[in-house]
Amino acid sequence: MMKKILVIEDEAQTRDILVESLEAEGFDTICAENGRVGVKKAQEYLPDLVICDILMPELDGYGVLITLRQNFLTAKIPLIFLTAKTTDVERCYGMNLGANAYVTKPCTVEALLAAIAKVYQLCTVLK
């Protein structure tokens, strides 16, 4: 079971809600306030899953995903985009870069947990 989740979100209130909700479900969470810090934490902690916003300062979510996929230590870590970018073009771009799921904000905790469960199932099948 996926236990360690890295949440990369620049908006403090959203980040806190995500962390609280995931911890209430039994996940260990690590958080980062921007993409640059998120990449460092992913390389340091090697989480089971990354949940990442797209619109962030310093390094956006697309940059985070590209960077993680280029490093052999982090290349296989599943990533879910959680974002306000809702167009089909943006969704396709994120998925084509290698995101495992794309969840639009605002979303319920249940919707996020369903995406986590789906990604976990897929990753287990593909191993």
What CATH number does the domain containing 25 carry? 3.40.50.2300
Find the domain containing 16 and state its range. Answer: 4-126
Number of domains in the chain: 1
**Cα separation of the two ends of the chain:** 13
- Residue 7: pLDDT band with limits 50, 70, 90: very high
> Is the pLDDT reported for residue 28 higher than 60?
yes
pLDDT > 90: what percent of the chain? 71
pTM for the model stands at 0.92
Rounded to whole angstroms, how far apart are CA atoms 57 and 92?
22
